[in-house]
Amino acid sequence: MFLLKRSPLLFALVLGLFLAFSPVLRAEELKPLPELSREFDLAGYAASTDTIKKEFDGIPTLGFEISLPKTWVERSTLGQEYGEMNRYDGPAFGDVRPYFSLKRFQVKRENTARLELIAYLLKQGYVLRSMKEIDDRNVEAMYVVVDDKNDSYAVRTKMRIAGSDMQLAEYAVPVNAFDSQVDQQTFSLSSFKFLKDSEATIEKRVERTYLKALRFNYPASWVFEGEEALTDNRVSIRFSNPGENDIKSGVFRMTLISEGSLKDEIAKPQFKPDIPEMLKAIRKQYEDQGYVIGKLSETRKPELNIPASFGVLDIYELHQKLTKFDTTEKTPASHELWLAVFSVDKPVQKTYIAEMFTPSRTQDIYLWSINSRAFQIILKSIQ
């Protein structure tokens, strides 16, 4: 069967979230979203549905259209601004009814739709089974929900980030009726459309510059901690994520090293920076703070909007040292070190080292996700 039964619920939750973050296993282990079967009478079923169109007074970014069976009944809602905004219930299977629900939640920190949805699933205790990322603001997924009455549902959703809103369109089918109802669920969600939109960012962006050599943006919730120009050809700029209750929950540092002076717009090569030695010094700083740099867990190509001649992003596991002596024993990875190095050649060679210290994705998925999102925003905004 496509979905897991209730008995391995906890295992499936852990497995599903792990796979969602594993670039190697994700495509192999998470199930594809169901498609309409060849036997499904598409024309006949479509004739038994009505197209429903809804807009919401006072919420300019919210509206939808969907085809649902004519037998489904709209359930009254309280007219609230957040939470469940609209719901339709279908005929019962036993004592459990399928339903369609539109929900709206406020998102306070910059995040992608995919990572925000995964954090939401973890918080709710839902079991992820399928996920398809459309773009940074749109995702489709399927997950298992066990409600407060201990009824299990297979939920297919279209989720979107619109401005500072997360909007969820959920079509839920009782798990024991999934095999007979999956085509109807697939049809309805394929007909669903968000009617309104907002391309505003979740958070405001703050611009940071150093002379005319470096310019980039960062999310307003991050705290600028200062810059340090050790020489004419090198500057380091540091930020932190204040996290909850002002407990620092992530650190980002950008270091720019040039072969010419950063104070000179038409710089000429006069320095020979030793980049490998600088990278060794960064690693040593973490070792001196009591961390063991573990395995290289991931390598990516950094997303940039500058013409880089070279670019690599390595992600390392960080383990807290058990003792001051060398040992083969390791604690679970508590943090991650993101280290991106990229270069531009003209008018003189400049090398950027972007460094992030963040809680591990296995320790705190939400903090990890907003930290990784901020990292990506900064790199893509560099000019």
In the chain, where the domains are located: 9-194, 205-381
Give the pLDDT band of residue 16 (cuts 50, 70, 90). very low
pLDDT at 331: 87
* Residue 70 confidence (pLDDT) above 60: yes
CA–CA separation, 354 vs 44, rounded Å? 57
Residue 361 pLDDT > 80: yes
Q: 104-113, 240-249, 324-333 — which is least confidently predicted?
A: 324-333
Q: Residue 245: is its pLDDT beyond 80?
A: no
Q: Residues 6-15: pLDDT tens digits?
A: 333 333 444 4
Q: Please tell me the distance from the alpha carbon of residue 112 to that of residue 134, in angstroms, as a whole number.
A: 11
State the pLDDT at residue 326: 64
Would you put residue 79 in left (φ > 0), alpha (ψ -120 to 50) or beta?
left
pLDDT bin (cut points 50, 70, 90) of residue 336 is very high
For 92, 156, 183, 224, 235, the CA distances from 151, given in Å and listed in that order, are 12, 16, 21, 48, 58
Architecture of the domain defined by 205-381: 3-Layer(aba) Sandwich (3.40)
Domain 9-194 and domain 205-381, same fold? Reply is: yes
Distance of alpha carbon 314 from alpha carbon 316, whole angstroms: 7
Classify domain 9-194 by CATH number: 3.40.1000.10
Is the distance from CB of 45 to CB of 184 less than 8 angstroms?
A: yes
Whether the per-residue pLDDT at 220 is higher than 60: the answer is yes
0.95 exceeded by pTM: no
Phi, psi angle pair for 337, to nearest 5° = -110, 115
pLDDT score of 287? 93
Question: Is the model's pLDDT at 376 over the cut of 70?
Answer: yes
Indicate the SS3 state at residue 81: coil
Amino acid at 147: D
329 alpha-carbon distance from chain centroid:
32
Asked if 241 and 357 touch (Cβ cutoff 8 Å), the reply is: no
